[in-house]
């Protein structure tokens, strides 16, 4: 196999000088930037809804295993908020406005905000496992779409995905299934 890679530094230097205000986004950015920003903004909505759901469940949890489950929900909630902030930081780097608008959170989120009225632990664990399994699938699709076109956004999404998989695993352990 022959390697015909030639790096045309002169052409790249000329091109990147043209739009200095775009910061880290250069002509070699491999995707429609606005589309990536829109996808990340829906990730932000998803993470905020997950934060709300876990926070609500941590407070609502009752029963013999309440302390353990509530502590796990609280820990997951913190990580979901951190995911929202990581996606928002990337939106900002791409020159977009992170969208935390509560009016559209529910319709943009991949997951649902559920509020079991009786504080039933099993129901809450299953609701959260369902949500985690949704984001594991949707984030995998996003990562495949990003591919080699935007490696930095892909790594952000990969780091979030890794934690969602840990969340799902924690919930399965608590459910004993
Ligand atoms: Fe998350
Ligand atoms: Fe999660």
110 contacts 133 by C-beta, under 8 angstroms = no
Binding residues: 47, 83, 132, 164, 167
pLDDT tens for 74-109 read 999 999 999 999 999 999 999 999 999 999 999 999
Angstrom distances, CA of residue 95 to CA of 32, 83, 100: 12, 19, 16
pLDDT of residue 1: 65
Confidence of residue 119 (pLDDT cuts 50, 70, 90): confident
The CA distance from 25 to 168, in Å, is: 34
Residue 118, pLDDT > 90, answer: no
Domain ranges of the chain: 32-175
pLDDT of residue 24: 94
Residues contributing to the annotated binding site for Fe cation: 47, 83, 132, 164, 167
With a pLDDT cut of 70, the percent of the chain lying above it is: 99
d(CA 73, ligand 1 centre) in Å: 12
Domain 32-175 of CATH type 1.20.1260.10: yes
């Amino acid at each position: 196999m022959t390697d015909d890679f030639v790096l045309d530094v002169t052409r790249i230097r000329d091109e990147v000088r043209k739009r200095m205000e775009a910061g880290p986004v250069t002509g070699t950015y491999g995707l429609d930037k606005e589309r990536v920003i829109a996808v990340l903004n829906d990730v932000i909505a998803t993470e905020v809804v997950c934060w709300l759901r876990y926070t609500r469940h941590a407070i609502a949890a009752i029963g013999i295993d309440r302390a353990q489950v509530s502590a796990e929900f609280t820990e997951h909630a913190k990580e979901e908020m951190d995911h929202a902030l990581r996606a928002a930081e990337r939106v900002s780097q791409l020159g977009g406005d992170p969208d935390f608008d509560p009016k559209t959170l529910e319709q943009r989120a991949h997951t649902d905000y559920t509020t079991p009225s009786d504080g039933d632990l099993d129901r809450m664990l299953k609701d959260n496992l369902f949500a985690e399994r949704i984001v594991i699938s949707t984030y995998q699709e996003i990562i495949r779409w990003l591919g080699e076109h935007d490696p930095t956004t892909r790594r952000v999404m990969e780091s979030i995905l890794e934690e969602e998989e840990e969340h799902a695993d924690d919930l399965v352990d608590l459910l004993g299934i």
